[in-house]
Structure 1
Amino acid sequence: MRQTRAPIASRMAWLVFATAAAAYFTAVLHRTALGVAGVEALDRFGIEATALSLLAVIQITMYAAMQVPAGTLLDRFGPAAVMVAGSLVMAVGQGMMAFAPDYGWALAARLLIGAGDAPIFIAATRLVAHHFPPRRVPVMVQITGLVGQAGQLATALPLAFVLHTAGWEPAFGSLAVVGAVVASVVWWVLVRPKNPSFSPERSASMSVRAALTTSMRTPGVRLGFWSHFLGPFSANTVALLWGFPYFTTAQGRSSAEASLLLTSMVIASVTVAPVIGTLTGRHPLRRSWLVLGGAVVVALTWVVILLPTTPRPLWQLVAFALVVGAGGPMSLIGMDFARTHAVRERLGSATGFVNMGGFISTIISVLLVGVVLQAVSPAGASEYTLGEYRVAFAALTVPWIIGVVGVFTSRRDARAVLAAEGVLVPSVREVWRRYRAR
């Protein structure tokens, strides 16, 4: 019996994965669409840097604020149902964005996009954790993120092409249609058959406050939050809003070259993600060192690109984009902390709590860059110089320091819990001694 059912289960797992990954791909496409439309948004709505930042920040703020509520809904109704609902809400938001007559309507549209986006990734990771063996889950989560980040590639290439050739309304209107189609596919594949084996078990309802308190009081989940906080904000700040105008107006690159640089970030993410997933699965007691090591490398890359006072050659900008893009998948290690430390029936809300981290840091980063840009530039400016961008991007030091401190303090608490349970984490020196003794 077991031998005859194994292939069926395997096919089911991959079908569920493909559907969930497609939904996340589309969510990232929605999320990053404004990243190639920053210059057009400045002109269309007659706004300056801070207001443009707010268009991105309000979406990410809604996304972050909805993480724990989305997680409790996921625990209560299952990942497939919330994935359908989220996809439909995003489609409505993009439809509003396409025909927004003024800045206020654009803000409302971005709120809807952020709310709809909130449950998609945590639902996808919940489905992966349910259908694949524990040892393979870190790799599969990274691959889910990898497929999703290809949505950023679709933003940098076909969406940018449609925007610059057909205009604002066709570009964002097409996103609304794609969102509705994906919601229909998820419903058809995962909800319509009413197959209970497609979804994890559902749990009793829990208040958002109780779920948030439970996650905050669990050191390992808290470590996941700070790991996710530290990982993605550099890549998100570049991809979601400030990268395209920085490359074109400050570094003097063409739109095609700016798209190439954003594409390079995706390529780096795609290349590095499976490696990080494999290392996470093989060395679960060294996950925090992966997070911290990645953060140091990305910080040094920012220093190298911001110190020169003249535009950089294209190859240096490509190298910068590759390293920053490679730092993004480090954030998904936080999801693995949630998987291994959270109570199973509250995994959805714990994953949502962890997922808040990276988007809170992104909110801080995107808004900081916009505020500093406007503060150091002449009043009414809609384009900014390289010197002004250098000052603005230097402000990313603030969330970096916050994240590093958060990882160190929560790691200490998590290790104390493990020690009380009889699990001792060897020091780096001890690991090195064992390696040399082989």
Structure 2
Amino acid sequence: MNSSEGRRNGAVMLYLLLLAAYFMSNFFRISPAVLLPRLAREMGMTAAVTGFISSLFFYAYGGVQPLCGALNDRYGPMRTGALGMALCALGTFMFSFADSPASLGIARLLTGLGLGPIFSGVLVHQAHGFPKERYAALTGITIAVGNLGAVISVAPLGMSLDKLGRFNTFIILGTISLAVAAAMWLCRSRDLVVGQSPRGTSMLKGLKDGMALLLKGHRGIKAATLMWASTVGLQISLQGLWAVAWFEEAYRCGTGPARNWATLIGVGMMAGTLLGGRLASLARGRTWVLASFGGAIAASWALFLAVMHLKAPLPLAGAAGALIGVTSGVGVVAANSAINDLVDRDRIGALIGAANMTVFAFVILSQWGSGVLIEAFGGQSSLGFLKTYGALTTLLTLCMLPILTVKSFRR
């Protein structure tokens, strides 16, 4: 085996390990949709408090993104991710026995902090370990695997909770997280990113570079980040918090069927990201293609709202939810690919960290804001959900418009 073949095989092995960590990251993001509404009823928490506890994951996750991007550039995703997954395991163990809103919130906070480095770590590894022309396809695979974690965190997790209980289920999940952390730590010497930052680059400079690229760099970076952020924020608030409750309320179908239909959002996202890996090449430098993806996302949300308002047959509502996932997946991969095309490889981690902070600022606003709006519109009723997501879909549509101001997504 020659050195280039060995490097390629090593890159693939580390990529698979990072994918396992990213799978867990998405799993823990979405899992509150199954458990938190039930715990809210048991503990007497309002919708706003429930949304706030769920959003603590994203406060922590989003707040450390610029730091995590710089850490991945500087120390590599294996070392950084291993420490993060160990912290995630601690939060997961705590969640298994949390018995108050405060302890639930601390557990979510720790989990979010721990998983902060994972996504930018995968993208940094992709940029360093594989040819540039494979970046879009690999990003599609990465996000698809992550969304498999989101899918499994709804119906399958619900079945595990029903059979094993919260304590046993989350002890198992914490143990798996700890095993992934150990594997990443053992592989840290093989990290392809370590030592590739320019000599003399400090952590502070990495942080400043990431924020400067986002705020003062190419106009396309800001437009693509806004598209990515608004898409993910709205999709996660539905899939990760309110979808099960909305299906239950609108169709009186029971928790089990509601979980199954809500799972289709994640299935659609998986399909969309795999499709997006192929379609993103069409968007390279072409404003109209990226704008078309943004328009498709907004249209899919409008269709879902219409179906839920009319109380169309439940399979049609599930299919409309899946379509949101498909269009969102394509749009997210295309936006990520556009950002990658507009930055040098040695600064991709810092920029992705800064951009991901913006994404999760939108996620936080969507999680917390949806709870506030639902309460303002009469609580967890079909009409309350409809009015809330009608308002949020309008905001999403406005966030797509800056794409039209970009002449080209090429440097």
State whether residues 138 and 280 of structure 1, in contact with CA within 8 Å, keep that contact through their aligned partners in structure 2. yes
**Closer/same/farther in 2, CA of residues 272 and 303 from structure 1, 3 Å limit:** closer
In the alignment, does 2:217 pair up with 1:218?
A: yes
CA distance in 1, matches of 2:384, 2:35: 20
The equivalent residue for 1:303 is 302
Q: Which runs of 5+ in 2 are unaligned?
A: none
The equivalent residue for 1:362 is 363
Paired residue secondary structure (2:154): helix
State whether residues 127 and 345 of structure 2, in contact with CA within 8 Å, keep that contact through their aligned partners in structure 1. no
Q: How far off is 1:65 after superposition?
A: 1.4
State whether residues 237 and 363 of structure 2, in contact with CA within 8 Å, keep that contact through their aligned partners in structure 1. yes
2:174 to 173, 176, 181: 176
Report the AA paired with residue 392 of structure 2: L
Q: How far off is 1:70 after superposition?
A: 0.9
CA distance in 2, matches of 1:359, 1:196: 27
CA distance in 2, matches of 1:315, 1:165: 27
CA distance in 2, matches of 1:400, 1:201: 38
Report the AA paired with residue 278 of structure 2: T
Deviation readout 1:234-270 (Å, 9 max, x if unpaired): 3211221011111122332233322222332232222
Report the AA paired with residue 205 of structure 1: S
State whether residues 32 and 152 of structure 1, in contact with CA within 8 Å, keep that contact through their aligned partners in structure 2. yes
**Which of 173-182 and 297-306 deviates more?**
297-306
CA distance in 2, matches of 1:184, 1:49: 37
CA distance in 1, matches of 2:115, 2:57: 9
CA distance in 1, matches of 2:316, 2:191: 51
Paired residue secondary structure (1:342): coil
The equivalent residue for 1:202 is 197
RMSD: 2.3
Deviation readout 1:309-365 (Å, 9 max, x if unpaired): 453312211211211111332223232233222233322110112223332222222
State whether residues 311 and 386 of structure 1, in contact with CA within 8 Å, keep that contact through their aligned partners in structure 2. no
CA distance in 2, matches of 1:240, 1:290: 29
Q: How far off is 1:199 after superposition?
A: 4.8
Deviation readout 1:131-150 (Å, 9 max, x if unpaired): 21111111011101111111
Q: Give the TM-score of the pair, scaled to structure 1.
A: 0.85
**Closer/same/farther in 2, CA of residues 391 and 196 from structure 1, 3 Å limit:** closer
The equivalent residue for 1:425 is none
The equivalent residue for 1:436 is none
State whether residues 23 and 186 of structure 1, in contact with CA within 8 Å, keep that contact through their aligned partners in structure 2. no
| Counterparts of residues 399-418 of structure 1 (less than 5 Å) | 399-409=395-405, 411-412=406-407
Deviation readout 1:182-204 (Å, 9 max, x if unpaired): 1112223x21xx23546571342
**Closer/same/farther in 2, CA of residues 333 and 352 from structure 1, 3 Å limit:** farther
**Which of 73-82 and 142-151 deviates more?**
73-82
Report the AA paired with residue 201 of structure 1: Q
Paired residue secondary structure (2:285): helix
CA distance in 1, matches of 2:391, 2:363: 12
CA distance in 2, matches of 1:8, 1:385: 57
Report the AA paired with residue 196 of structure 2: E
Report the AA paired with residue 66 of structure 1: V
The equivalent residue for 1:27 is 25
| Counterparts of residues 298-337 of structure 1 (less than 5 Å) | 298-307=297-306, 309-329=309-329, 330-337=331-338
In the alignment, does 2:346 pair up with 1:349?
A: no
Q: Which runs of 5+ in 1 are unaligned?
A: 422-438
**Closer/same/farther in 2, CA of residues 163 and 353 from structure 1, 3 Å limit:** same
Q: How far off is 1:283 after superposition?
A: 4.2
Paired residue secondary structure (1:101): coil
The equivalent residue for 2:270 is 270
CA distance in 1, matches of 2:191, 2:121: 16
The equivalent residue for 2:258 is 258
**Which of 314-323 and 254-263 deviates more?**
254-263
CA distance in 1, matches of 2:221, 2:48: 33
Q: How far off is 1:128 after superposition?
A: 1.3
Q: How far off is 1:99 after superposition?
A: 1.4
Deviation readout 1:6-58 (Å, 9 max, x if unpaired): 43233222212211111100111121111211322212432010001101222
Paired residue secondary structure (2:2): helix
CA distance in 2, matches of 1:233, 1:273: 16
In the alignment, does 2:385 pair up with 1:389?
A: yes
Deviation readout 1:192-228 (Å, 9 max, x if unpaired): xx23546571342232345313431112432332231
CA distance in 2, matches of 1:154, 1:299: 26
Q: Give the TM-score of the pair, scaled to structure 2.
A: 0.91
**Which of 262-271 and 12-21 deviates more?**
262-271
Paired residue secondary structure (1:202): coil
Paired residue secondary structure (2:102): helix
Paired residue secondary structure (2:31): helix
CA distance in 1, matches of 2:208, 2:3: 41
Q: How far off is 1:230 after superposition?
A: 3.2
**Closer/same/farther in 2, CA of residues 406 and 312 from structure 1, 3 Å limit:** same
**Closer/same/farther in 2, CA of residues 290 and 187 from structure 1, 3 Å limit:** farther
Paired residue secondary structure (2:196): coil
**Closer/same/farther in 2, CA of residues 170 and 395 from structure 1, 3 Å limit:** farther
State whether residues 334 and 354 of structure 1, in contact with CA within 8 Å, keep that contact through their aligned partners in structure 2. no
Amino-acid identity (%): 22
The equivalent residue for 2:228 is 228
Structure possessing the higher radius of gyration over alpha carbons: 1
Paired residue secondary structure (1:235): helix
Paired residue secondary structure (2:197): coil
The equivalent residue for 2:128 is 130
Paired residue secondary structure (1:285): coil
State whether residues 123 and 349 of structure 2, in contact with CA within 8 Å, keep that contact through their aligned partners in structure 1. no
**Closer/same/farther in 2, CA of residues 399 and 94 from structure 1, 3 Å limit:** farther
| Counterparts of residues 70-149 of structure 1 (less than 5 Å) | 70-149=68-147
Q: How far off is 1:291 after superposition?
A: 4.0
CA distance in 2, matches of 1:280, 1:305: 25
| Residue correspondences, number | 404
Paired residue secondary structure (1:399): helix
**Closer/same/farther in 2, CA of residues 129 and 337 from structure 1, 3 Å limit:** same
| Counterparts of residues 10-49 of structure 1 (less than 5 Å) | 10-49=8-47
**Which of 196-205 and 321-330 deviates more?**
196-205
